[in-house]
Amino acid sequence: MPDPVVVVDVDEDPQVKARWGDHVPVTFVDGVLIAYWFLDRDTLVSALEDGPNPVPVVP
């Protein structure tokens, strides 16, 4: 069974907000960044079924 979904409020933690505040929403699967700004269904399903493929991060 997959791990539960964890929702993190970026505004709650100054370090998280400093790193990811301009990229919201940010989506990780198994600790790997799979999407930011936009998340489409195919990307999410692929990451959950086949494992995550990391994406480059724009500063």
Q: What is the pLDDT of residues 3-55, one digit of tens each?
A: 688 889 999 999 999 999 899 999 999 999 999 999 999 999 999 999 999 99
Q: Which domain holds residue 48?
A: 1-59
pLDDT band at 58 (very low <50, low <70, confident <90, very high): confident
Domain count, the chain: 1
CA-to-CA distance for 31 and 34, rounded, in angstroms?
9
Q: What share of the chain is helix, strand, coil (3-state, %, to 5)?
A: 40, 15, 45
pLDDT of residue 27: 94
